[in-house]
Chains A and B, each alone.
Chain A
Amino acid sequence: MIRFVIRRILFLFPVIIGATLLVYFILDLAPGDAVFALGGDQMSEEELIALRHELGLDRPFIIRYLSYMQGLFTGDLGVSLISGRSVLETYFQRLPMTLRLAFSATMVSVLLSLPLGIYSAVRKGSIQDNIAMLFSMLGLSMPNFWFGLILIIVFSLHLGWFPSSGYTGPISLVLPAFAVGTGLTANLTRMTRSSMLDVLGQDYLRTVRAKGVSERAVVNRHALKNALIPIITIIGTQLSIALGGSILTESVFAIPGVGRLMMDSINQRDAPMILGCVVLTTILTSIILLVVDLLYAMVDPRIKSQYVRRGKTS
């Protein structure tokens, strides 16, 4: 098992290195470089060259990339062109807010979807099932950020129950968590339902029923435990979707997290900050998916023993 964990962690490095290269390359394609963000339009040609040299922008692409990678592994992602503050520090200062939002949204989704999905699967074809499926289809088809706007119109502008923007305390996270959570719920409910249906059709439940186990326990104990295994992966994926989507949610609700930070950086053409935000968020989501993978292996006895055995022999 430990070997498996180590192997999966080692697998992360080429992905991070490759993803960084990709983003670095794309940002390098931009016509104007960083000096313009520093007010380069007003400088003379000589000043520009001097500034480029000072920032190291006149070096070949590959050298610049390698020095950036070196920085990444030593915890130095450069400084913001606008504020002059460390990119890494700024990012981690903003991160807790984004994480809180992503976790709340995922929480909303899990708490709503699991009971709904299970119920729908057990009562497949009933009116309740059809209604649940209809709503999850609508939720799936709705842009989250638009739903956020509608929530703001109804619950803060008209009813005044929640603040419409900014962060004044946990109450500010309620609407954004629901805006993102609704989309996730729609998806997770469908997944839970289909996973449950899969399991409910399995032969081994007949064996369980033949033992005299009550239908309730057949569903809640046996079927659910089997169905949860694939669902865990989906929950992890949702957390990473919520993180990746923070750029949108935080713009709608003016929440000062990393998404907002990235959007501001894009508007201010703050290249090091954009790069840092994307690279760090990518690393973060990759780690979450890795943890989910490991969790999956731990929950499913079939996979677990496979790796335990492999670990012993190899």
Chain B
Amino acid sequence: MNGNTCNLQSPASKKAQSHWAGVWRQFRKNKGAMAGLIVVLLAILTALTIGFFVDYDEHVIRQNIPMRLQPPSLEHPLGTDELGRDLMVRILYGSRYSLAVGFGSVGIAALIGIALGAFAGFYGGYKEDVVMRLTDIFAAIPGLLLGAVIVASLGASLTNLILALGLASIPQFVRITRASVLTVRDQEYVEASWVIGLTGRKIIFSHILPNCLSPIIVTATLQVAQNIISASAMSFLGLGVPAPDPEWGALLSAGRSYMRTHGYLTLFPGLSIMLIVLALNLLGDGLRDALDPKLKR
């Protein structure tokens, strides 16, 4: 579905500029996507600047037992947790982990996946076969299980979580990149590049990949959303960011023991995950519509 988008774009770079302007014009019309973009930007801003406003040791992890399990109030808008820490501060601070894992893991997956996918799609033949069969093998293991095994083996930490989810997302990028490259590869301007004697690598980077960006961007956006959910799931299982760091999944795990009496400990971290994932999904959908008018309904 995404594979055939490339030929819509002009290979010429001058036209490419007006292409992106057109995409932006199209994107701006989509209210949901704009809302998504704003929420994502706000979340990134929060994650980047929260460290200037709150002190990690003082506000995020310091226990304050007398104030434990306070329901939402003016002083603590989202209440306090089982160790008396302000839930809102912890959730805001937690955005750093969720976004780091989401973007970090997709960064790793995109880097490796795009390279492999472009290689496979461009050269074809046995090289393609080898890459695609390896991808099949990778994709055969359910993502969450692969992530769990990696973390179980290497230990639970933020880095390992990023690594685990990153590795598990590689197949997506290999497949989407290869499919796009295949549609572009045989077009005349690529053949022309061969004729004027460009090397394979140069053709891939300057003529093929720029014309395959649309489906890759869309996939990346949706994958960030997916990996933020997966990260919270792993932390919930104790396979992600370890305590006392306030990763959202870890907050859910901690709040679990108090579900009956203190439901807000379960409600708010989950809503936070949902909000950022919803924003990313809307953004991804909006990008898909804007980048590929053919698919718009």
Which residues of A sit under 8 angstroms from B282, Cβ to Cβ?
Answer: 137
Once the chains are docked, how many angstroms separate the CA of A145 from the CA of B249?
Answer: 10
Judged by a CB distance under 8 angstroms, whether B274 is at the interface is yes
Q: Is the CB of B140 within 8 A of A286?
A: yes
Find A30's partner among B146, B152, B232, B266 (CB 8 Å cutoff). Answer: B152
Given A26-B153, A240-B142, do A19 and B137 touch, yes or no (CB 8 Å)? yes
Name the distance in Å between B156's Cβ and chain A's nearest Cβ.
10
Once the chains are docked, how many angstroms separate the CA of A137 from the CA of B273?
Answer: 14
Judged by a CB distance under 8 angstroms, whether B131 is at the interface is no
One digit per residue, 1 when the CB lies within 8 angstroms of any chain B CB and 0 when it does not, for chain A 240-264 equals 1101110110010000000000110
Q: Is the CB of B141 within 8 A of A251?
A: no
Given A30-B152, A138-B278, A143-B273, do A150 and B297 touch, yes or no (CB 8 Å)? no
Judged by a CB distance under 8 angstroms, whether A67 is at the interface is no
Find B144's partner among A22, A142, A245 (CB 8 Å cutoff). Answer: A245
Judged by a CB distance under 8 angstroms, whether A149 is at the interface is yes
| Majority secondary structure, A binding face | helix
Q: Is the CB of A266 within 8 A of B239?
A: yes
Once the chains are docked, how many angstroms separate the CA of A26 from the CA of B150?
Answer: 6
Q: Which B-chain residue is minimally distant from A275 (CB atoms)? A: B149
Once the chains are docked, how many angstroms separate the CA of A96 from the CA of B167?
Answer: 30
Judged by a CB distance under 8 angstroms, whether B243 is at the interface is no
Q: Is the CB of A274 within 8 A of B142?
A: no
Q: Is the CB of A274 within 8 A of B152?
A: yes
Interface residues of B in 60-117 (CB under 8 A from A): none
Once the chains are docked, how many angstroms separate the CA of A240 from the CA of B270?
Answer: 25
Binds B, one of A40-48, A58-66, A78-86, A277-285: A277-285
Judged by a CB distance under 8 angstroms, whether B154 is at the interface is yes
One digit per residue, 1 when the CB lies within 8 angstroms of any chain B CB and 0 when it does not, for chain A 147-176 equals 101101100010000000000000000000
Once the chains are docked, how many angstroms separate the CA of A29 from the CA of B143?
Answer: 19
Q: Is the CB of A15 within 8 A of B140?
A: yes
Judged by a CB distance under 8 angstroms, whether B259 is at the interface is yes
Judged by a CB distance under 8 angstroms, whether A212 is at the interface is no
**For chain B, which range describes its interface: under 10, 10 to 19, 20 to 34, or 35 or more residues?**
35 or more
Once the chains are docked, how many angstroms separate the CA of A230 from the CA of B260?
Answer: 43
Which residues of B sit under 8 angstroms from A18, Cβ to Cβ?
Answer: 133-134, 136-137, 140
Q: Is the CB of A149 within 8 A of B270?
A: yes
One digit per residue, 1 when the CB lies within 8 angstroms of any chain A CB and 0 when it does not, for chain B 123-164 equals 000000000011011101111111011101111000000000
Q: Is the CB of A15 within 8 A of B136?
A: yes
Which residues of B sit under 8 angstroms from A269, Cβ to Cβ?
Answer: 152
Interface residues of B in 159-206 (CB under 8 A from A): none
Once the chains are docked, how many angstroms separate the CA of A147 from the CA of B281?
Answer: 18
Judged by a CB distance under 8 angstroms, whether B42 is at the interface is no
Which residues of B sit under 8 angstroms from A39, Cβ to Cβ?
Answer: none
Name the distance in Å between B200's Cβ and chain A's nearest Cβ.
27
Question: What's the tally of chain A residues with a CB closer than 8 Å to chain B?
Answer: 50
Q: Is the CB of A278 within 8 A of B141?
A: yes
Which residues of A sit under 8 angstroms from B150, Cβ to Cβ?
Answer: 26
Which residues of B sit under 8 angstroms from A137, Cβ to Cβ?
Answer: 278, 281-282
Judged by a CB distance under 8 angstroms, whether B216 is at the interface is no
Q: Is the CB of A22 within 8 A of B153?
A: no
Name the distance in Å between A7's Cβ and chain B's nearest Cβ.
14
Given A26-B150, A141-B225, do A14 and B266 touch, yes or no (CB 8 Å)? no
Q: Which A-chain residue is minimally distant from B164 (CB atoms)? A: A26
Which residues of B sit under 8 angstroms from A208, Cβ to Cβ?
Answer: none
Find A285's partner among B142, B229, B259 (CB 8 Å cutoff). Answer: B142
Judged by a CB distance under 8 angstroms, whether B256 is at the interface is yes
Q: Is the CB of B259 within 8 A of A152?
A: yes
Find A124's partner among B153, B229, B232, B297 (CB 8 Å cutoff). Answer: B297
Name the distance in Å between A12's Cβ and chain B's nearest Cβ.
9
Once the chains are docked, how many angstroms separate the CA of A282 from the CA of B136?
Answer: 12
One digit per residue, 1 when the CB lies within 8 angstroms of any chain B CB and 0 when it does not, for chain A 65-99 equals 00000000000000000000000000000000000
Find A145's partner among B143, B233, B281, B297 (CB 8 Å cutoff). Answer: B233
Q: Is the CB of A30 within 8 A of B153?
A: yes
Which residues of B sit under 8 angstroms from A5, Cβ to Cβ?
Answer: none
Judged by a CB distance under 8 angstroms, whether A217 is at the interface is no
Judged by a CB distance under 8 angstroms, whether B22 is at the interface is no
Judged by a CB distance under 8 angstroms, whether A140 is at the interface is yes
Once the chains are docked, how many angstroms separate the CA of A140 from the CA of B281?
Answer: 8
Q: Is the CB of B149 within 8 A of A244?
A: no
Which residues of A sit under 8 angstroms from B252, Cβ to Cβ?
Answer: 145-146, 149
Which residues of B sit under 8 angstroms from A241, Cβ to Cβ?
Answer: 142
Given A26-B150, A30-B152, A149-B252, do A143 and B270 touch, yes or no (CB 8 Å)? yes
Report 12 cross-chain contacts, Cβ distance below 8 Å, ordered by A residue.
Answer: A15-B133, A15-B136, A18-B140, A22-B137, A138-B278, A141-B281, A146-B270, A146-B274, A152-B259, A262-B148, A278-B146, A282-B142
3 closest A-B pairs by beta carbon, nearest first, are A244-B142, A18-B137, A146-B270
- B residues with a Cβ closer than 8 A to A are 133-134, 136-138, 140-146, 148-150, 152-155, 225, 229, 232-233, 236-239, 249, 252, 256, 259-260, 263, 266-267, 269-270, 273-274, 277-278, 281-282, 297
Question: Beyond the given A15-B133, A145-B233, A267-B238, could you list 20 further A-B residue pairs with CB under 8 A, ordered by the A residue number?
Answer: A15-B136, A31-B155, A141-B277, A143-B229, A147-B270, A149-B252, A153-B259, A153-B260, A240-B142, A244-B142, A248-B236, A251-B237, A262-B148, A266-B148, A266-B152, A266-B239, A269-B152, A278-B141, A282-B145, A285-B142
